[in-house]
Structure 1
Amino acid sequence: MKKILAFSFAAIGWFAIVAQYVLMLGNRVTSVGEATIRFFSFFTVLTNIWVALYFSFRVFGTKHRKSSIHSGGTLTALTVYITVVGLGYQILLRHLWNPTGLQWLVDELLHSVIPILVILYWYGYERTTDIHFRQITGWLLYPFVYLIYVLIRGSYSGFYPYPFVNVIHLGLIQVLINSFLFALVFVVISCAFVGLGRKIGR
């Protein structure tokens, strides 16, 4: 059952990612190269790719329990990231546009369905006795590196994937304040999952 779920979630994830890329190319107003770079500049896309890779390795990768894919905390970190994706979209971004057709389906998969599926998988299969609060600091490295990348590239390209990191419109100080608040959200959600996991104690 575990492997079937992992295969199904990987398939859903890759479908949504590839479909989103095709749709973005079809609606691009820049070159294919620039559109591709912008595609991989969205935290949503990158995180969903990590999730799809995780479930793919669960199906086709090594079964060695010491592998990083099986180590305690890997699934929890991914669950934190994709939860932030889901909540951030529902609270801050959903009202900004109204997609239809295939774009609506892909949008819901990336921001709503996949986050819920990952949370359910985490609840059912994470080795929660192997996760600890001290791991949270390491989990913040990915969003921190992402933020640095977005700010550096945006400074010379003028493209910022999300309005709350748009230095042109908000100014650097406000973007840094927004980023700090997001860091707090990451920490709070991470603590919630670790705390719940320790209570589950599986």
Structure 2
Amino acid sequence: MPPQPYIAKTAPQAAWGPIALARLLHGVVALAAAGGIGLELSAAISGGPGIAPTHLERFVRLFSYFTIDSNLLVGGVCALLAFRPAHDGRLFRVLRLTAVLCIAVTGIVFHTVLTGLRELTPSGQLANFLLHTAAPVFAVLGWFLVGPRPRTGRGTIAWAVLLPLAWIVYTFVRGAFTGWYPYPFMDVGTLGLARAALNSAFVAAVFIVMAIGLRLLEKQLPAAPAG
């Protein structure tokens, strides 16, 4: 029997790699945001102590919270990235940076200023964890580990800061007519306009500094996802 030709064995391709990690991290963020928002929607529909009397006002107030808006944005962006981890585009670059910055600010402000201000039901505690801890931590971790990058330029930063600034303006304008503010540090009725505006300006400044910091950090990190 003639000898068989030697065929080198190749190692099987690893099932786990950068793309899989990217899908996992982005997927976790999308699920955390969706779960937390779903719980808050359920609470708004069912009503409860301290909740606005009409369904319309409940929904308006719910979606006036920066927490909800930032989780909606980061959840949508990360859901798309879970399917296409290297997704790109001029508009998408702005949305991605805005989402990471907004959710990071959400986590920072909550854990430094807002935590423990009210008692929560078990479902409220779960929603609180998903929206203020899980989504921010995994979103920032995902950006750091799997990007996508490079994506951040000066123009991207300029457009990315518009959404949070527009939210601040909306909050003060609506509050002037309704007397309701989503966060104590913005409550003009309690603090006065000057103090509330100063508090909001500080948060806006943190946002801008973080945007510049992410751009500088991105220059030092390798392109991602790789592979």
Instruction: Return the structure number with greater helix share.
Output: 1
Note if contact 1:75-1:122 (Cα within 8 Å) is conserved in structure 2. Answer: no
Q: 1:21 aligns with which of 41, 62, 67?
A: 41
Work out the number of aligned pairs and report it: 200
Unaligned runs of 5+ in 2: 1-19
Give CA deviations for 1:112-148 in whole Å, capped at 9, x if unaligned. Answer: 1110010111012224333134532322111111011
Give CA deviations for 1:65-119 in whole Å, capped at 9, x if unaligned. Answer: 43633x3x54233111101000000011003123241111110110011100101
Note if contact 2:44-2:62 (Cα within 8 Å) is conserved in structure 1. Answer: yes
Cα 1:64–1:84, aligned 2, differ >3 Å: closer, same or farther? closer
Instruction: State the SS of the aligned residue for 2:116.
Output: helix
Cα 1:78–1:65, aligned 2, differ >3 Å: closer, same or farther? closer
Which structure would you say has the larger Rg? 2
- The Cα RMSD (Å) is 2.2
Q: 2:181 aligns with which of 160, 176, 200?
A: 160
Q: Taking structure 1 as the reference length, what is the TM-score of the superposition?
A: 0.88
Confirm or deny that 1:38 pairs with 2:58: no
Q: 2:70 aligns with which of 30, 43, 47?
A: 47
Unaligned runs of 5+ in 1: none
Note if contact 2:26-2:81 (Cα within 8 Å) is conserved in structure 1. Answer: yes
Confirm or deny that 1:11 pairs with 2:31: yes
C-alpha distance in 2 between matches for 1:157 and 1:201: 48
Instruction: State the SS of the aligned residue for 1:30.
Output: coil
Cα 1:176–1:64, aligned 2, differ >3 Å: closer, same or farther? closer
After superposing the two structures, state which structure 1 stretch, 22-31 or 84-93, moved more.
22-31
Note if contact 2:27-2:78 (Cα within 8 Å) is conserved in structure 1. Answer: yes
Q: 1:57 aligns with which of 73, 80, 86?
A: 80
Give CA deviations for 1:129-178 in whole Å, capped at 9, x if unaligned. Answer: 33134532322111111011111111111110011111111111112211
Q: Percent identity?
A: 25
Note if contact 1:13-1:110 (Cα within 8 Å) is conserved in structure 2. Answer: yes
- Look up the equivalent residue of 2:32 and give its one-letter code: I
Note if contact 2:64-2:182 (Cα within 8 Å) is conserved in structure 1. Answer: yes
C-alpha distance in 1 between matches for 2:173 and 2:117: 25
- Structure 1 runs of 4+ off > 6 angstroms? none
Q: Taking structure 2 as the reference length, what is the TM-score of the superposition?
A: 0.79
